[in-house]
Amino acid sequence: MLVKICGIMTEEAGVAACDLGADLLGFVFAESKREISPEKAAEIRRQLPESAKTVGVFVNETQENIIRIAETAHLDYVQLHGEESADFCRDLPYPVIKAFSIKKESDLDQLMDYDCDYYLLDSPGVQFAGGSGIPFDWNLLKEKHLPNEQLILAGGLNAENVQKAIEKVRPAIVDVSSGVEKEGHKDLAKIAEFIQKAKYRGVKDK
């Protein structure tokens, strides 16, 4: 099971997350309390092991700005959380993760309109685009034939529920942000516990 820690803002958090076993780190380049500059993300990226993959999170940004930021920050993936079309995603010169907010079963139908590297299933946002810190109903996925090997599960995950989430959804990647924070900052003990539960005590990779 691969683990993505999103909302990285400091070198300490980024390096520690990789040392603890995180596979992907997310940088937010959109309005958010976790927003980071491309230059700061690039500084953090230089401190990470080559094996670490970095993801830039964007919301309704122009292709020109996405490409510029991705080049500056040395991103491996572009994650889109807005109203981006399938053509918009297809035209980007980077591997794309398209995020979808899931409220009801029919929200899953739009996935098949997109040809992306990964599909991220998230809870609807509250103040900002992206998760609310509350899980959506994973049972909505039960009757859908989804490409599990391309699914990233996000939204309200933490060390207490990640095992159950993996067992129910069987995604390729689990994605966490607020679930490994304390008082609004990444907490290394919470990151360690989450990764341990997801990787070594949850469902094993196929």
Instruction: Specify whether 122 is catalytic.
Output: yes
User: H-helix or E-strand containing 172?
Assistant: none
**Angstrom distances, CA of residue 34 to CA of 31, 89, 128, 166:** 8, 24, 11, 26
CA distance 144 to 100: 15
- Is the CB of residue 17 less than 8 Å from the CB of residue 181? no
Q: Of 6, 18, 89, 116, which is the active-site residue?
A: 6
If DSSP codes are grouped into helix, strand and coil, which group holds residue 174?
strand
Q: Which residues have a Cβ under 8 Å from the Cβ of 136 and sit 6 or more positions away? A: 102, 103, 121, 122, 123, 124, 155, 156
Question: Up-side HSE of residue 127: CA atoms within 13 Å toward CB?
Answer: 6
Q: Of 76, 122, 137, 187, which is the active-site residue?
A: 122
- Is the CB of residue 29 less than 8 Å from the CB of residue 58? yes
Which amino acid type is present at position 132?
Answer: S
* Alpha helix (H) residue ranges in the chain: 11-19, 38-47, 63-73, 86-91, 162-169, 188-200
Instruction: Specify whether 116 is catalytic.
Output: no
Catalytic residue list: 6, 122
